[in-house]
Every structure is written in structure tokens, then in C-alpha cells.
């Protein structure tokens, strides 16, 4: 029985693992630094307190507890030895493989700016989302304790990045400001909190149609958000956001959604990587230059697809399709090349407001598009329990224009606790 090791439990890794786990002919080990799968498109809802982390996440061990040939291993991969077919984790332990699948996704890209990396909040993981939630609430509480003349930087939230993540977060923060801030923080009534979205691109949502871009800009303006295009954040010291144009913004909060990059792993030759640290693969998803090693999802760039000469977009739907394709290939022994059929792009802006571009050049926006967005994302959650919980909490928040997850919760482990091990 071949042993397949999968590094990363995102869209690609978890769909591959679930399919292979159904076969008695495959033994699999899934390795991830977290012990749960989560749904990245909805982490902005967690960041704003409209959803609980458990609504969009599920433990790997519970996912596999009825699959006797599937195992989960929590850990961070430090090195891969392709010659010995072994993966080494952070504490030095090794895991041998017959087939290796790298599906490690991406991390925030600060483009080498260490100052921004030190002081800005990323929005990539559930931990990031909770940190953003804590920060927003902490800034509001701090503003309540300050004289009015000193409150403005605490009440100014800046989002960098005009893609879907930046737009969706800005939209939901605008709704929080409208529906919640005055009600929960009577000390701040009459104060003018601000939201600013900054993008280096000339438009918001650059991959989408002009119709979607215009509608998005108009909706954010209606919600009271300031949008700055054709400018980029060049520095942030925790107090002042500095822009390439020379402009500066006094703000205690900068949330970074302006780019991603894949990670390099020791042991993988440099020639296997291409731009953005993505692994080069052929159309069978095999890493070029390595035997018995595959790469999927955002960390992979498939070469040779005439429909995508620059590689497939780094989207969840691409990653899921690649995971299912590789599962079929391994189970059936087929060498069919991977071909991706784009299903369209969507982004939610606010209550009853969303945009969508569909195949064939069709686009839509408004209430119906919002309803489709909600349905698509709830149905995409990994388990029925997640779908039910998300639908319930979302429904309550929608009907009441309120949510109850506005708690500042910070873990307080013992000082010598390290990664769940005593040492």
C-alpha cells in the first residue's frame, strides 16, 4: 500500500485527502501546522465578529476518524529530502513517503517592507482574523477612555489592498460603524470614525469587469468609506500610514490584504520555483524536476495550459479542482492533463450588495447577486454542521443588524509553553 503524504490542509489538500481516504488502497498522512481545516473566503466575517471561528473550521482528526487508512500529523515542515523520500518536521521527526503532495498555500506578501510587516495586521488565517477583531474592539475601548481631541487615530481603520478581501472587509466594517458603534459605544456618539481603503491599482477588484468595479466603488462610497486608488502604502510605524504619493494618514490600525507569496521549503531545488515562490508543475500536477512529488493550489503554477499561459489564478475553486483531479488520477491511474474551467468571480460589498462576473461575459450586482454569494459560500463549507451554524449566525446577524461576538479574547498560556509541548 503506497503512502501518500499531503502537506497542507486547505482547499487542495483536504479535497485530495478526503477522496483518497475513501479508498482502501491508499494510506495517507495529512500534515498541517493547524489541527483544523478552515474556509478562507469567510475569515473577514470572523475578523468583524459576525461569525465564530468554529463556523468556518473543522478538526482534521474528526474529519478522518472513520477512515482507517487516513492519519493527521500536526507540525510545520522544515525540510524535504526528495532522494530519501522523507519529510522533516519542526522537532526533527521524519515522515517517509512514496508520493508527496505539497499544498501549502500562500502567506501575506509585504514585499520586503519589514516595518509594515511588524506593525500591520495581516488577514490570512483564523489567528489573523481574531487578532483583527481584538484590535478593532480594543481601539474602540481605548477611544472611549480618551479625551475627544485624541480619539481620531483610534477611530481610523485603514485597509491596504483593493482585491476581494480588502473590499469585503471594508464593506463589513462600514456596516459595523453604521449599525453597531453608536449603540455599543455611547461615549463615542457624535464622533466621526473613518474607514480608508487603499489600492495601488487604478480600480477596485481589478480581475473583474468594469461594471463590477464601478458598482463596488459606488457602494463603498455610499457606505461612507474613503477609497484611494493609484497609490500604495510605503510605510507604517503603528501610528502613521505613509503613502507613495507623500500623503500620510494618522491611524492606529492598518489591515494588510495587498498581496500573497508562497513559501520555499529547504530541500526543494531553486529551479523548481518560479515567480511568487510557486512550484513549477506539468499538467499532471507533478513538480518539474522531482520524482513522486506533486504540487497543488496557490503554491503551484501549472505550465503548459494554453488557456492559462501565465498559470491559473490563485483561487479556492482552482485549488479544489486540482485536489479532485489528482485524486481521480491516483485512484484510476489516468494521466489526463489538468484543465480548469473558470466558474466566475464574486465579491460581497455589504448588506444586500454584491457583484459577480460569470463565464461568457455576463455580470450582475445587487440583491439577487448577494443571495447567490451567500448560498455559494455556505454550501462550500466542508461539513453540514459548518453550513448549518454559518447559516444560523449569518441569518441572525442579518435580521437583527447585530452580532454577539464582540469580545476581546486573548489566550494566556504559561510562559514556558511551546507548541503544545513542555520542554
By C-alpha distance, which of 92, 61, 95 is closest to 78? Answer: 92
Q: Inter-axis angle of helices 164-176 and 210-222, to 10 degrees? A: 20
Which residues fall within 8 angstroms of residue 298, CB to CB, at 6 or more apart?
10, 105, 106, 260, 262, 278, 314, 319
> What size, in residues, is the chain?
423
Pairing of strands 156-160, 253-256: parallel
With contact defined as beta carbons under 8 Å apart, do 355 and 363 qualify? yes
Paired with 121 in beta bridges are: 255
Which residues fall within 8 angstroms of residue 121, CB to CB, at 6 or more apart?
128, 131, 132, 135, 253, 254, 255, 256
By C-alpha distance, which of 5, 9, 3 is closest to 103? Answer: 9
Pairing of strands 26-32, 2-7: parallel
Distance CA 130, CA 203 (A): 29
Which residues fall within 8 angstroms of residue 317, CB to CB, at 6 or more apart?
11, 342, 343
Active site residues: 168
By C-alpha distance, which of 203, 223, 216, 169 is closest to 365? Answer: 216
Q: How are the residues of the chain apportioned to helix, strand and coil, as percentages rounded to the nearest 5?
A: 35, 25, 40
Residue 149's Cβ-side half-sphere holds a number of Cα atoms within 13 Å equal to 0
Which residues fall within 8 angstroms of residue 269, CB to CB, at 6 or more apart?
289, 290
Distance CA 355, CA 97 (A): 44
Amino acid at each position: 500500500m503506497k503512502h501518500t503524504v499531503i502537506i497542507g490542509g486547505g482547499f487542495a489538500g483536504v479535497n485530495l485527502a478526503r477522496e483518497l481516504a475513501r479508498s482502501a488502497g491508499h494510506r495517507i498522512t495529512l500534515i498541517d501546522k493547524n489541527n483544523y481545516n478552515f474556509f478562507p473566503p469567510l475569515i473577514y466575517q470572523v475578523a468583524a465578529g459576525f461569525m465564530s471561528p468554529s463556523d468556518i473550521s473543522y478538526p482534521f482528526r474528526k474529519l478522518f476518524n472513520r477512515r482507517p487508512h487516513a492519519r493527521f500529523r500536526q507540525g510545520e515542515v522544515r525540510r524535504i529530502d526528495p532522494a530519501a523520500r522523507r519529510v522533516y518536521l519542526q522537532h526533527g521527526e521524519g515522515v517517509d513517503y512514496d508520493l508527496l503532495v505539497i499544498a501549502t498555500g500562500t502567506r501575506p506578501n509585504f514585499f520586503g517592507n519589514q516595518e509594515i510587516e511588524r506593525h500591520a495586521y495581516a488577514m490570512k488565517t483564523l489567528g489573523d482574523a481574531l487578532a483583527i477583531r481584538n484590535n478593532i474592539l480594543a481601539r474602540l475601548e481605548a477611544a472611549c477612555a480618551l479625551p475627544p481631541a485624541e480619539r481620531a487615530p483610534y477611530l481610523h481603520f485603514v485597509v491596504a489592498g483593493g482585491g476581494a478581501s480588502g473590499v469585503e472587509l471594508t464593506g463589513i466594517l462600514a456596516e459595523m460603524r453604521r449599525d453597531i458603534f453608536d449603540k455599543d459605544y455611547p461615549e463615542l456618539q457624535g464622533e466621526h470614525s473613518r474607514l480608508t481603503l487603499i489600492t495601488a491599482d487604478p480600480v477596485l477588484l481589478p480581475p473583474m469587469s468594469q461594471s463590477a468595479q464601478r458598482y463596488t466603488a459606488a457602494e463603498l462610497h455610499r457606505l461612507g468609506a474613503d477609497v484611494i486608488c493609484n497609490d500604495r502604502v510605503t510605510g507604517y510605524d503603528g501610528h502613521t500610514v505613509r503613502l507613495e504619493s507623500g500623503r500620510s494618514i494618522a491611524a492606529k490600525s492598518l489591515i494588510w490584504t495587498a498581496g500573497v507569496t508562497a513559501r520555499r521549503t529547504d530541500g526543494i531545488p531553486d529551479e523548481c520555483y518560479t515567480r511568487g515562490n510557486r512550484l513549477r508543475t506539468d499538467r499532471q500536477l507533478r513538480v518539474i524536476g522531482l520524482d513522486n512529488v506533486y504540487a497543488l493550489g496557490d503554491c503551484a503554477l501549472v505550465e503548459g495550459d494554453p488557456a492559462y499561459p501565465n498559470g491559473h489564478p490563485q483561487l479556492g475553486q482552482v485549488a479544489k479542482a486540482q485536489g479532485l483531479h489528482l485524486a481521480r488520477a491516483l485512484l484510476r491511474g489516468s494521466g489526463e492533463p489538468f484543465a480548469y474551467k473558470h466558474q466566475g468571480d464574486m465579491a460581497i460589498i455589504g448588506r444586500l450588495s454584491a457583484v459577480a462576473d460569470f463565464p461568457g461575459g455576463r455580470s450582475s450586482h445587487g440583491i439577487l447577486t448577494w443571495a447567490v454569494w451567500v448560498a455559494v459560500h455556505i454550501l462550500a463549507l466542508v461539513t453540514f454542521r459548518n453550513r448549518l451554524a454559518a447559516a444560523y449566525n449569518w441569518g441572525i446577524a442579518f435580521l437583527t443588524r447585530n452580532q454577539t461576538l464582540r469580545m476581546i479574547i486573548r489566550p494566556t498560556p504559561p510562559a514556558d509553553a511551546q507548541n503544545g509541548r513542555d520542554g
